[in-house]
Structures are given as structure tokens and as C-alpha cells.
Amino acid sequence: MLVNDVPKQVENIITTSCYDCHSNNTDYPWYNKVQPVAWFLEDHVAHGKEELNFNEWADYSSRRKNSKLKSIISQIEDGEMPLWSYTLIHREAELSKDEKKIVLEWISKLKDSL
């Protein structure tokens, strides 16, 4: 059931809100050139990727996947991710109530299927 079924909506939300810090595909806009912001991003990307890297997902053991999914759920539920300091300059990354609900539902389902 889950094979081809990553809803577009979920994918878009996670891409917009999380991938800058949790993947190898970073999409820095113009302010990457502004030094303090670049330092800030670099630090967070390096550290964020250590914690969770969606590009390495396939290599995670299923135990680790399960663990990360649980962590993602609690980070989103508690509003700790995306980092508030990031959404300050990246307004579109902020999760609305509906977006939270959509992502949480899908991730919970994925977790239960593991």
C-alpha cells in the first residue's frame, strides 16, 4: 500500500520545511551569500544532517527508521521542528496546523507499517 503512495502533499511539506537541513539537497536562496546567514545555515545543516538525513534513509536499519520516525513525530508535535530561527527567515517552511496533521498522520502510518 505504501509503495507508490507518498502523497504529493506530504512530500511537498517535508521538502519545503525540512530538507534544507536534513538532506544532501539544500536549496539556499540569495541570502546564502550574506555571511552571518550562511554560517548559521552551514552549522545547522551540518548538525541537522547528523541527526537525520533523508538521503541516507534507505541505509538506516529498520530499527533506526522506527526510532527516527518517532523522533520526527514528537519534534513536529512539540513544534520544535523546523527550527524557529529558520522559519523566521524562511516563512514558507513554517507548518500550518493542517500541514502538521497531514504529515503526522502519514508518518504514524508509515511507522506502524515498519
Partner 1 sequence: MKKINLTKGILAITLVALTVTSCKEVKKEQHIDNEHHSDGSHDDSTMDSSNDMMGNDQHASKSTALVANYLELKNALVADDKDAAAKAGGMMVSAFDDFETSSFGSEEQQELKDIIEDAKEHAEHIEKSPIDHQREHFDVLSKDMIDLIAITGTEEKLYQDFCPMYNNNKGAQWLSATKEIKNPYYGAKMMSCGSVQKEIN
Return residues touching ligand HEC (CB under 6 A).
Answer: 17-18, 20-22, 44, 47-48, 51-52, 71-72, 75-76, 81-83, 86, 93
Residue 63 as a binder of partner 1 (CB under 8 A): the answer is yes
Closer to ligand HEC at the Cβ: 55 or 71? 71
CA neighbor of 79 nearest in space, from 94, 98, 65 = 94
Sequence-distant (6+) residues with CB within 8 A of 38 are: 28, 31, 32
Cell numbers representing residue 102 in the block: 497531514
Task: Report yes or no: 76 and 95 within 8 Å, Cβ to Cβ.
Answer: yes
Chain residues that interact with partner 1, rule: CB under 8 A: 2-6, 11-12, 14-15, 19, 23, 25, 27, 54-55, 57-58, 61-67, 70-71, 74, 110, 112-114
